[in-house]
Each structure stands twice: as C-alpha cells, then as structure tokens.
A and B are shown apart, each in its own frame.
Chain A
Amino acid sequence: MRRKNINIWPYLLVLPALLIVTFVVFIPVIEAIFMSFQSYDLRRPDKIAYLGFRNFADMFSDPIFWLAFKNTIIWVVFGVGLQFLFGFILALLLNQSFRGRGIIRAVSLIPWATPGVLIGLMWKWIYDGNYGVLNDLLIKLGLLDQGITFLSQTSTAFGSVIVTIIWQGIPFFAIMILAGLQVISREMYEAADIDGASKLQKLIHITIPSLKNVIIITILLRIIWVSNSVDIIHNMTGGGPSYSTQTLSVYIFNKATVLDLGYSSSMALFLMFMLAMVAVPYLKNAFKER
C-alpha cells in the first residue's frame, strides 16, 4: 500500500528536465517581455532604457511590420493549405498496397529531414535565372521564351518560396495522415460497399471524419512551425526583393541579427500571441482529455 506522506521521487525525476526548460524557455520568455519595453539595442548598450509601450507603438505604425504580417498570413494559408492537400493525396496513394511501398514511403520523407538551409540552397539553384533547371524545363516545354529570375522580381519571389515550403511540408502531412488512415477499421468501408457507396462518398463520409483529429493536430503543428520558419526564406531571398518575401519571423530575425533586441522582442511577442490564439483552443482540449 502507498504511504500517506508525499513521494518525492516523481518530482525528483522531472526536476532535471524542468530546470533546463526553466532556464532556456521560461526565464527567456519573461526576459523577452522586459526587453520589449526597453530600447534594448546592443549596438548602443549605453542607451538601454525603459520605454513603456513605445516599441509596440512603433511596431503598429511600421509599414514593413504590416507587410510582414500580411506576408505571414499568405505564407501560412497557402503554405500549410497546399502541404495538407498534397500530403493528403500522397497519404491516400501510399495507403494502397503495391510493391516497394515501404521504401517509397521512407524515401518520400527525406525532404522533411533535410536542413532548411540546404532546402533554401537547392531551390535557389533550381530557380537560378541563368543556369537554373526550372527555366530550362519551362523553355523546353514552350511555356517561356526566355529565363526568369524567379527570386529577384517581386511578382514571382514569394510564390517561389511558398512552393519550397510546400515541398518541405508534404511528407509530414503524408505520414501523419497515413497513420490515421491505417487505423480506420475495414468494416466501415465494407459496410459502405454493401450499401453501394461510391469512392467519393466513402472519402467524404468515412475517411475524412475519421481523420478529423489527426488533421487538426497536424495542421496546428504545421501552422506553428511554418510561421516560425526562418531558414528557408532567409537563405533564398533574405526577405527581399523590397520585403516581398519577408514574413514576421524573418523580419524579427533580421532585426535581431542587427542587435535591435528590444524592437524584435516586441514583434516576437506579438507573433507568439497570434500563435497562441490559434493553439490555445486545441491545447485546452488536449488538457481535458488527460
């Protein structure tokens, strides 16, 4: 029988992880809140001072901030949306049985394990205006007369980086949805077959509702990751040309690298707040279920 006094072991076991996380996550978040109220610019360390809400006021009247905000929304909606669409299609395909399925499934995941810097680099080379393979293909197919510099004109740059983030995210959606597909019981489909349901009807009435949970969690995780992603854009365009590919996290990163820490903290807190609004309803649910 368990003794009445408190068992300290469970707490001791959690302690090391908790200490590290406190030091590297919770204290920094609090620190960031303080910094956002200061003119914390390490290029002028003697001028660090309390500013009140000035950083936030500056932020809301900064046209580049609003452009970055708009870009973040486009980046997330199209990025995550199309990752989901193609990931879903890939999962449905991989759920059929054919020879070599295991290997194909593993291979199709590689983009997900590839470093963002390398992804940026590979695609930058594909999009290259002079020697890029994409231009060559499009010219050969008769779709273009001469090469385009995809990443250095405002009309094509953002679309091009969005294609890259879609490429990166398809595999993650595919494996999550595939796992969801594999636990749907066969009997439901068999029953539907007896009732003479069409393929599309089965997809809409059985497959998608059964996947609801997986889809919500995966979309949520991807929204968080995609809106936080810096490395791909930073390595392909640096946020240019003329800020057309600069999302909030890239803007924050650019400001942080020039050591304007106060202003970038304010924007980072804003970003966190936006993400929290998306994530909290889900987290609340997850909490209830525990």
Chain B
Amino acid sequence: MRWKRIVSLYIPLGTILLFLLFPFYWTFITSMKPEHELYGSTVTYWPKELTLASYQKLFGEFNFLLPMWNSFLVATITTFVTLFVSTLAAYSFTRYEFKGKSLLMGLFLTNNMFPNVLLLIPLFAIMRSFDLLYTPISLVMAYATFTIPFSVWMLTGYLKDLPNALEEAAMIDGANRATAFIKVILPVLMPSIVATGVYIFIQSWNEYTFAVLFTNEATRTIPVTLKNLIGQLGVQWDLLTAGGIITIIPVCIMFFFAQKKLIEGMTAGSVKG
C-alpha cells in the first residue's frame, strides 16, 4: 500500500512540481552566483559562493527603483479604478432586474475575446492624439480593457452568493440602499474584493505588450525594463535574474494571501454553470 502510494502519488507529483518550480530555483541561484562561477566551465547546481553583487549593481547602476515605482503606480491606480467601477456594475447586475441587463452583461463577457494586439493598435493612435502616450494614465486605460471585464465577472459571482436578505433586513430597519451596501454588504464582500484586487494588481504589474508601446524612458515599467536589460547587457544573466527575482517577490506574497478566495471566485462560474 505504501509503495503503491509512492508510485501513484509522490513520484508523479514530485516530477510535475520539479518541472514547475525548478526554473524559479535556477533563476534564484543564478542571481546569487559570482560572475566567474556563472560563466565557468562547469555548471554548479548549488553555488560555491553566494553574493548579492548583482542586486547592488541593479539598484546602484541601473536604478531599478524607478521602474518598480512606475509599475507600482500603474498597478495601484488600475486596481482602485477597476474595483470601484466593477463593484458598482456587479452590484447592479445582482440586485436589480432591468431591461437590457443580459445584453450589458454579455458586453462585458465578450470583451475577453478581443486580442490585446487588436486593441493595442488603435489605442496607440488614440492615446497619441489625446497626448496621453507615455503617461501612466495611458497604461491604466489600456489595462482596463482586460481588468474591468474580468472583475465585473468575478464580483458578480461573489455578490450572487450573498443573500439579498442581508441588506433587506438593514433596509427594513430604515437604512437606505447605499448605507445598507456600505454597512452590511461591503464588510462581507471585502475578502472577495481584495482577492479580485490582487489579481488586477498582478496582471497590471506583469503586463508587457501594451507597456512596450505606451511608455518611455521615464515611465517604463518593470517588464519593459527587464526586456531592455536583455538588449543592453546581452548575456549578463546575474543582473537579469536578480531583476526577475525582485519582480516576482511582491507578486508571490500577495498571491499567497489571496489565492484561496481568488481560486474560489475564478472557478465558481465554471463549476456551477
């Protein structure tokens, strides 16, 4: 029985996990290897010496803080704007019956179908004519193309699960709709809003295709900077991997806190539907 479990569970699971996680391990130790070891004649699987030199260089010579700040700014604004408008829309979809509701919901749903590269081209021209190109706002707008449809869909799912009786009780006690929403619904919904926000933040933090065309030297976000480092440095893998590790740390931390709720929301529609 024990052997059977090892063969049917631990070995395949271990193999898949090794495949999924090894690239992260490899990136991490590459960022900590001294240059002579990195480009030595033998590949070492555990570095003989550990050094933080590449991290110092990244922040010293290459001012990695600027793209980090730019990414943070864009991701934060996108998250708050998206959450605000999407929560209102989701509330409307779950608490009211009105003419054209299914059409409107359908509009948000079909949004996911438009390829980024399709929207990229006219958005570039539009941003250019409004003089918004190379500002953080242009990225926030571009990211709304995929964050709003996704968030409306997620939040509608979460809100549907909250019984109407909750706010109705409050409204019988004399509260109006807005107060009932803020006092009763919002606190219960908060974990779901946070999880959706984490997803929006990660997506915006990671986005590359729009960011290449919509940013310049001053407003460049992390993914574009990483890509440019490849161009500038050729094969300085210690610096590149250090940049990669810095990029993914905040993503991982947020993701771990929100993953349970997030998965619940993402899978709910398809499992029930």
Contact indicator B122/A35 (Cβ below 8 Å): yes
Q: 1/0 per position for B96-108, CB-CB distance to A under 8 A?
A: 1011011011111
- Check B190 for interface membership: any CB of A closer than 8 A: no
Contact indicator A117/B208 (Cβ below 8 Å): yes
A108 CB to nearest chain B CB (Å): 6
Q: A107-B21, A109-B255, A115-B248 are in contact. Are A125 and B237 (CB under 8 A)?
A: yes
Q: Which of A59-67, A86-94, A150-158 contacts B (4 or more CB under 8 A)?
A: A86-94
Q: How far is the CA of A227 from the CA of B43 in the complex (A)?
A: 35
Q: How far is the CA of A151 from the CA of B91 in the complex (A)?
A: 49
Q: Which of A18-26, A49-57, A200-208 contacts B (4 or more CB under 8 A)?
A: A18-26
Contact indicator B123/A115 (Cβ below 8 Å): no
Q: Which of A9, A16, A31, A234 contacts B125 (CB 8 A)?
A: A31
- Check B145 for interface membership: any CB of A closer than 8 A: yes
Q: Which of A73-81, A169-177, A190-198 contacts B (4 or more CB under 8 A)?
A: A169-177
- Check B111 for interface membership: any CB of A closer than 8 A: yes
Q: A9-B92, A93-B12 are in contact. Are A123 and B23 (CB under 8 A)?
A: yes
Q: A27-B126, A110-B252, A113-B255 are in contact. Are A180 and B117 (CB under 8 A)?
A: no
Closest B residue to A289 by beta carbon equals: B273
Q: How far is the CA of A125 from the CA of B25 in the complex (A)?
A: 12
Closest B residue to A182 by beta carbon equals: B271
* CB-defined contacts of A109 to chain B, threshold 8 Å: 255, 259
A24 CB to nearest chain B CB (Å): 5
Contact indicator A93/B9 (Cβ below 8 Å): yes
B229 CB to nearest chain A CB (Å): 9
Contact indicator B23/A122 (Cβ below 8 Å): yes
* CB-defined contacts of B23 to chain A, threshold 8 Å: 111, 119, 122-123, 126, 167
Contact indicator B118/A265 (Cβ below 8 Å): yes
Contact indicator B251/A113 (Cβ below 8 Å): yes
Contact indicator A16/B84 (Cβ below 8 Å): yes
Number of chain B interface residues as a range: 35 or more
B121 CB to nearest chain A CB (Å): 5
- Provide a sorted-by-A list of 27 A–B residue pairs whose CB atoms are within 8 angstroms: A13-B89, A17-B148, A18-B89, A21-B148, A42-B125, A89-B12, A93-B12, A108-B21, A113-B252, A114-B251, A115-B208, A119-B23, A125-B26, A131-B38, A170-B20, A213-B270, A217-B273, A224-B113, A228-B115, A253-B120, A257-B212, A268-B121, A271-B117, A275-B115, A283-B106, A286-B109, A290-B105
Given A126-B23, A180-B267, 12 extra CB contacts under 8 A? A7-B98, A13-B88, A17-B148, A24-B119, A110-B20, A111-B23, A115-B205, A116-B208, A122-B24, A128-B237, A230-B116, A256-B124
Name B residues whose Cβ lies closer than 8 Å to a Cβ of A: 9, 12-13, 16-17, 19-21, 23-24, 26-27, 30, 38-39, 43, 81, 84-86, 88-89, 91-93, 95-96, 98-99, 101-102, 104-126, 141-142, 144-145, 148-149, 152, 177, 202, 205-209, 212-213, 222-224, 226-227, 230, 235, 237, 240-241, 244, 247-248, 251-252, 255-256, 259, 263, 266-271, 273
Q: List 6 A-B pairs, minimum CB-CB distance, nearest first.
A: A179-B267, A115-B206, A10-B96, A31-B122, A13-B92, A268-B118
